[in-house]
């Protein structure tokens, strides 16, 4: 079948099988025909170029929304025209105590070019606070049970001027294990405990600066999760809640979100909060690497040369060097929306912008879904994507990148491409090592793991010390990461990882292994039937689906 020529930015819609998607301008859907180019996908720190079967549906991200021309002006306008509350300047007075909380390094992914939007916002806030006589100001990284950010990471996030003036006494990481640093605010009518950072609670005003990278971010989650402790977090980061979240990216159908909102209502009743939320576009790469986000049918000769040069260079580098290279390529994200004021009013506006950027309309579910797992997740910035985090990306995030219903049919096959290194970062993920090597050989049952081992890890003095004094994720964190894949495990009939460099890791995770994507698809056909509907989510950047 000859490939049609179409104007730029209009999706190609050629097919040799299956229904043609509804012709909407925002549908980024391609059906592979016999003349189509091979598709590029991430596999850890490598790029795969694969021929997919004829008729495969490839779902591409939408083009980036237009960034705001003057982010600073947009921030100032939001502060002066907030939703559901008085302008920020009207809430300030000399001698008051103000705390600014900011999202940690898990957002955005990868870290964005400097100045980070948080730097832009905090600089404006500090200028406004100073003009109104407010000098008791602390800046807290809302890292919850994530690892502490390092000094250089904090300097990069807010800039040298703020770092030099405030770090470490007035610019620091939240400590969920500080016995004097948390305040109990109460319990919900479902007996969910709400404990929040003392400095934030005892401030006259808490200003939260949020980046809403995906629809599950922001809202009450910012304070209620970012500044809580283990006792509060475990109320919703548990298997039953995750199984009832359909999906995390659709807040209206997420039990996780419902619990956080219940707990957030208690926070709201005990604290004065001014919420600032931002939405970014998905312009992940600059001109040199932007070919990775394109439809391969539209590659120019230059794009093909860049791809081959990149793959050749990566093939000559050891895995650690490749990882460092990718982590040092900042994302070119741009601000597309900023709103401020009352938490829920602000959040609803930003969620609309997230959906506008990420959601792609597709018709019908698939028997097989293919995802290339990249080098980064929210939990391994500047470190390795260990086996538990590969599981989080596949069953936790990629499976949940939908609104309405999953892209994959119940009992279908999820194919992931990743080397599945049996490697862990001892500084960032020490409790993961014990979880993977000691607990998973005994059981993969999330309920058993929670009942039998979670509190042992959470209360382990060594893990607490590494969380508080080092840069380690909390001892309970690998449990939360395992639970995060729970609704995916309940839905997916089989997971096959293509290109795993060993058999050990897939077996520990309960997955099958294939040497290549072609072999993985053949294995999947034996599970779902000889003529399956196949879809591929083309990451990067983020793409989510509205399945009709």
- Digit-coded pLDDT (tens) for 364-399: 999 999 999 999 999 999 999 999 999 999 999 999
Q: Is the pLDDT of residue 13 over 60?
A: no
Facing residues of 363 across strands? none
Please report the DSSP string for 213-224 in residue order: SSTTSSTTHHHH
Mean pLDDT, the chain, rounded, equals 94
- Digit-coded pLDDT (tens) for 500-533: 999 999 999 999 999 999 999 999 999 999 999 9
- Digit-coded pLDDT (tens) for 138-191: 999 999 999 999 999 999 999 999 999 999 999 999 999 999 999 999 999 999
- Listed in sequence order, the residues at least 6 apart from 465 whose beta carbon sits closer than 8 Å to its beta carbon are none
- Digit-coded pLDDT (tens) for 190-247: 999 999 999 999 999 999 999 999 999 999 999 999 999 999 999 999 999 999 999 9
ω into residue 83 within 30 of 0, thus cis?
Answer: no
Report the pLDDT averaged over residues 454-480.
98
34 versus 42: the higher-pLDDT residue is 42
- The CA distance from 467 to 423, in Å, is 20
Instruction: Report the pLDDT value the prediction gives residue 28, as an integer from 0 to 100.
Output: 87
Q: Is the pLDDT of residue 334 over 80?
A: yes
Instruction: Report the pLDDT value the prediction gives residue 355, as an integer from 0 to 100.
Output: 97
Answer whether 397's CB lies under 8 Å from 485's CB. no
Report the pLDDT averaged over residues 419-429.
97
Instruction: Report the pLDDT value the prediction gives residue 1, as an integer from 0 to 100.
Output: 38
Instruction: Report the pLDDT value the prediction gives residue 34, as an integer from 0 to 100.
Output: 82
CA proximity to 415, closest of 498, 539, 529: 498
Instruction: Report the pLDDT value the prediction gives residue 7, as an integer from 0 to 100.
Output: 31
CA proximity to 274, closest of 342, 331, 225, 182: 342
Per the document, the length of the chain is 548
Question: What's 253's DSSP letter?
Answer: G
Instruction: Report the pLDDT value the prediction gives residue 35, as an integer from 0 to 100.
Output: 82
pTM for the predicted model, two decimal places: 0.94
Instruction: Report the pLDDT value the prediction gives residue 548, as an integer from 0 to 100.
Output: 87
Instruction: Report the pLDDT value the prediction gives residue 537, as an integer from 0 to 100.
Output: 97
Mean pLDDT check: name the lowest of 26-35, 190-199, 327-336, 528-537.
Answer: 26-35
Q: Is the pLDDT of residue 12 over 70?
A: no
- Digit-coded pLDDT (tens) for 243-291: 999 999 999 999 999 999 999 999 999 999 999 999 999 999 999 999 9
Q: How confident is the model at residue 8 (pLDDT cuts 50, 70, 90)?
A: very low
Report the pLDDT averaged over residues 16-24.
39
Instruction: Report the pLDDT value the prediction gives residue 27, as an integer from 0 to 100.
Output: 60
């Amino acid at each position: 079948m000859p490939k049609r020529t179409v104007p730029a930015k209009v999706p190609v819609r050629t097919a040799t099988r299956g229904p043609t998607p509804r012709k909407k301008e925002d549908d980024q859907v391609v059906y592979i025909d016999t003349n189509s180019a091979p598709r590029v996908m991430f596999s850890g720190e490598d790029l795969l170029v694969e021929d997919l079967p004829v008729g495969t549906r490839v779902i591409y991200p939408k083009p980036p929304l237009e960034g705001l021309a003057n982010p600073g002006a947009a921030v100032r306008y939001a502060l002066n025209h907030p939703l559901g509350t008085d302008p920020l300047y009207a809430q300030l007075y000399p001698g008051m105590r103000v705390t600014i909380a900011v999202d940690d390094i898990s957002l955005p992914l990868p870290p964005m070019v400097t100045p980070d939007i948080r730097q832009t916002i905090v600089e404006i806030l500090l200028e406004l606070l100073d003009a109104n006589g407010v000098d008791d100001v602390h800046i807290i990284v809302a890292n919850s049970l994530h690892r502490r950010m390092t000094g250089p990471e904090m300097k990069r996030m807010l800039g040298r001027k703020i770092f030099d003036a405030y770090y470490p006494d007035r610019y620091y990481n939240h400590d969920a294990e500080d016995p004097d640093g948390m305040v109990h605010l109460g319990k919900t009518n479902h007996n969910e405990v709400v404990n929040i950072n003392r400095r934030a609670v005892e401030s006259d005003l808490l200003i939260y600066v949020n980046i809403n990278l995906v629809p599950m971010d922001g809202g009450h989650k910012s304070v209620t999760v970012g500044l809580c402790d283990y006792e509060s977090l475990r109320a919703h980061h548990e298997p039953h809640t995750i199984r009832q979240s359909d999906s995390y990216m659709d807040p209206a159908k997420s039990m996780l979100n419902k619990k956080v909102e219940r707990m957030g209502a208690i926070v709201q009743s005990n604290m004065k909060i001014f919420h600032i939320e931002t939405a970014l576009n998905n312009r992940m790469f600059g001109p040199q690497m932007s070919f990775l986000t394109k439809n391969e049918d539209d590659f120019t000769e230059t794009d093909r040369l860049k791809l081959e040069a990149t793959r050749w260079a990566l093939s000559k580098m050891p895995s650690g060097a490749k990882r460092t290279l990718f982590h040092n390529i900042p994302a070119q994200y741009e601000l597309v929306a900023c709103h401020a004021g009352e938490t829920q009013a602000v959040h609803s506006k930003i969620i609309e912008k997230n959906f506008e950027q990420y959601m792609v309309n597709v018709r019908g579910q698939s028997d097989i879904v293919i995802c290339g797992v990249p080098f980064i997740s929210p939990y391994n910035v500047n470190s390795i994507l260990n086996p538990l985090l590969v599981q989080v990306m596949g069953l936790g995030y990629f499976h949940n990148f939908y609104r309405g219903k999953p892209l994959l049919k119940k009992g279908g096959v999820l194919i992931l491409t990743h080397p599945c290194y049996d490697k862990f970062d001892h500084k960032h993920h020490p409790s993961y090592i014990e979880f993977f090597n000691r607990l998973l050989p005994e059981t993969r049952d999330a309920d058993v793991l929670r009942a039998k081992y979670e509190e042992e890890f959470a209360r382990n003095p060594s893990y607490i010390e590494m969380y508080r004094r080092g840069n380690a994720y909390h001892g309970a964190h690998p449990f939360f990461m395992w639970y995060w894949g729970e609704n995916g495990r309940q839905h997916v009939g089989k997971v096959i990882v293509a290109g795993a460099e060993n058999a050990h890791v897939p077996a520990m995770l309960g997955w099958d292994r294939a040497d290549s994507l072609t072999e993985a698809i053949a294995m999947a056909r034996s599970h779902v039937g000889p003529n399956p509907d196949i879809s591929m989510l083309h990451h990067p950047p983020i793409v989510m689906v509205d399945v009709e």
